[in-house]
Amino acid sequence: MTGPGPAAFLEEFLRIPSPSGQEAAAAAWLVARMGELGFDKAWVDEAGSPVGVVGDGERVLMLLGHIDTVPGEVPVRREGDRLYGRGAVDAKGPLAAFTLAAAATGAPPGWRVVVAGAVEEEAATARGARALAGAFQPAACVIGEPSGWDRLCVGYKGRLLVDYRLRRPLSHTAGPETGACEIAVEFWNAVAALAAHLNTGKRGVFEQLSPSLRAIRSASDGLTETVDARLGLRLPPWLPVAEAESRLGDLAGEAELTFTGREEAFRAGKSNGLVRAFLAALREAGAEPGFVVKTGTSDMNVVGPVWGCPILAYGPGDSRLDHTPDEHTSVAELERAVGVLGRVIGSLPAIM
């Protein structure tokens, strides 16, 4: 199977905006390209995610990227080795590498290679990944996220989003009553103090509870004052979502808390055939491979516990550029990643 070079393919892909909830045009484009590249089947699934299959073997290698991006336009352009555009790093770049590697390599005997671009990964709903989790049972899975072409990501922190609302009768600012805004600030300070206490002795950000205050606003109708705030918690592996919710509930007082975006932290193993295949492919490409863990979340948090198979995240790009106005990827790195993925696909029968 042959097709356009990685840079041309990704540039065309980047020119189709696909913020979360608006992925249909990009999904249709990718399905059409998969057909042109020689995939045996390609379709848009019930959640709206593009899915393509190469081969007809019983064992499935799932290459699971995501097709949605965060909002914000980054003009698509090529400047030397740099290719700019929203999604160049997170995560159309990795999804393009998956698609091109599967097309170029094909499926080894006894295997099917499934390439999927999940929708709503950036929206905290993970609708695409949740649908795919029930539709497939792969023998191995690679999540398409920017790890750098010579690194493997084997873990993501968990997440909990907290909406705080406090309503109370308005009191005079000269009186003894504590105002709603002050109470809300006290809650945030208590959350920060709890995190500092729980993090005692924990080394590294991945092992620490990381709270953030994302928004706060107040209003008054002359009788009642209301404060709404949104907090985000990045959860380490030792803190389950349920325990985090319970601890915050103990601090909330009379305020109402609503929890969303629940994702448990997930850490994958390093001693399996998929990891060995990648390490061999990276060394063959001249890299000195390494492992990383990430302080954010990905679809690994969703499908990892369900599938229970060897899993890791891999893809070209510098994750420090995620969601930024300067988002760009290296064309040379993209090409190297396509080559590494091709070597991994071809070596699976001998390793797994």
Q: Which residues are catalytic?
A: 68, 121
Closest to 145 measured CA to CA, from 52, 43, 241, 68: 68
What one-character-per-residue DSSP string does 6-18 give? Answer: HHHHHHHHHTS--
Closest to 61 measured CA to CA, from 96, 101, 29: 101
Residue 91, φ and ψ in degrees, nearest 5? -145, 40
Distance of alpha carbon 28 from alpha carbon 32, whole angstroms: 6
Sheet holding 82-84, edge to edge: 77-79, 82-84, 328-330
Secondary element (H or E) of residue 159: strand 158-169
3-state percent helix, strand, coil for the chain, nearest multiple of 5: 35, 30, 35
* Tokens matching residue 350: 């001998």
Longest dimension (CA), the chain: 79
SS3 for 18-34, per residue? CECCCCHHHHHHHHHHH
List, in order, residues 6 or more apart from 266 with CB less than 8 Å away: 155, 156, 158, 237, 300, 301, 304, 305
Q: Burial letters for 299-318: b for 16+ Cβ neighbours within 10 Å, e otherwise?
A: bbbbbbeebebbbbbbbbbb
